[in-house]
Homo-oligomer: A and B are copies of this chain.
Amino acid sequence: MDLRQLRYFCAVVREGHFGRAAASLGIAQPPLTRQIQTLERQLGVSLLHRTQKKFEVTQAGLLLYERARRLLDGADQAEDDVRRLGSGETGRLTVGFAPSNAFTILPPIVARFRATYPDVELELRQFTTSILVTSLESGSLDVALLRPPLSSRSLQIVTLIREPFLALVPAMHRLAARPATQLRQFAGEPFVMYSRAGSPLLHARVMDMCQRAQFSPRIVQYADQIHTVAGFVAAGIGVALAPSTVTRFNMPGLRLLEIAEKPAPLAMAMAWRTGAATGLVRNFTRIAREATGPWQSGQLAEAT
């Protein structure tokens, strides 16, 4: 038995007429007649009682009609559901993110994704970068937002935004009025630094930048995250360096200066397991690119 035969039989019963049924199916009448005959022969049951010229549906035919309709509906539904799941319109997507994303690119991405794919269950989990990587590899995460570089070769990675570093000074600082500064101006200044444990990547990058500017920062305070660092600077404790995310904090007492040396920007990327680019993942990455497009164009203050 075959879904095509059932479709044909249902059409015949529904229309009560071979010609019209064939037309509604988009085929000619003779093949339809033959398919019904074949179906009857295979079942060993007469479904239509041909009473010269006309026909009437037998008890068995009526039963088959009911069952066939349910089967066909079920098949269509299944096909649709599978298609939607495959195309990423439904399903469950588990997204991991590093803490530094929680206030920056994550909200607009999630907002846009929710709006575009309301039927997808979006599960968000915050982890450190190293756990994000192992979770991606083990399959417990579908996508992750994290900072490159990544050592794993089994992961696909795409950079979403590149944030230039800015110099942070208190409002009453001697450089506060300037639009830009050279990094070496910070030599000997009291420095607010990212802790190695809380933000190893930022710690490393800032130390590296200072080293390239040929000074060693006089660290007076450690802080874990960017907005903590910015808060300490705004409080006048010292100067600091931070990615341009800080422009979104809007803290009184904080001044942001461009860095004349133009150090390499800090990238934010998303990663997923190579080959695990399901529809959901493809859709999420597309949405992420769309939602973070404005950053690339410099509209840093817009949150979508």
Q: Using a CB–CB distance below 8 Å, which chain A residues touch chain B?
A: 1-4, 43-47, 49, 51, 58-60, 63-64, 67-68, 70-71, 74-75, 77-79, 81-83, 85-87, 91, 275-276, 278-280
The answer to whether residues A43 and B85 also contact, given A2-B3, A4-B2 and a CB cut-off of 8 A, is no
Q: Flag if A64 contacts B78 (CB, 8 Å).
A: yes
Query: Could you list 23 A-B pairs, sorted by A, with CB under 8 Å?
Result: A1-B3, A1-B75, A1-B78, A2-B2, A43-B83, A44-B87, A45-B85, A45-B86, A45-B87, A46-B86, A47-B82, A49-B276, A59-B85, A59-B278, A59-B280, A60-B82, A60-B278, A60-B279, A63-B78, A63-B85, A64-B78, A71-B75, A74-B74
Q: Flag if B275 contacts A79 (CB, 8 Å).
A: no
Question: In whole angstroms, how far apart are the Cα atoms of A160 and B198 in the complex?
Answer: 98
Q: Flag if B82 contacts A45 (CB, 8 Å).
A: yes
A50 shortest CB reach to chain B, Å = 9
Q: Flag if B58 contacts A81 (CB, 8 Å).
A: no
**A58 CB contact (under 8 Å) in B1, B47, B60, B278:** B278
Q: Flag if A71 contacts B60 (CB, 8 Å).
A: no
Q: Flag if B82 contacts A78 (CB, 8 Å).
A: no
Q: Flag if B1 contacts A43 (CB, 8 Å).
A: no
Q: Flag if A86 contacts B60 (CB, 8 Å).
A: yes
A68 shortest CB reach to chain B, Å = 7
- Which 4 residue pairs spanning A and B have beta carbons closest together? A45-B86, A67-B78, A60-B86, A60-B85
Question: In whole angstroms, how far apart are the Cα atoms of A78 and B276 in the complex?
Answer: 38
The answer to whether residues A67 and B74 also contact, given A1-B3, A2-B2 and a CB cut-off of 8 A, is yes
Q: Flag if A68 contacts B78 (CB, 8 Å).
A: yes
**A71 CB contact (under 8 Å) in B58, B71, B276:** B71
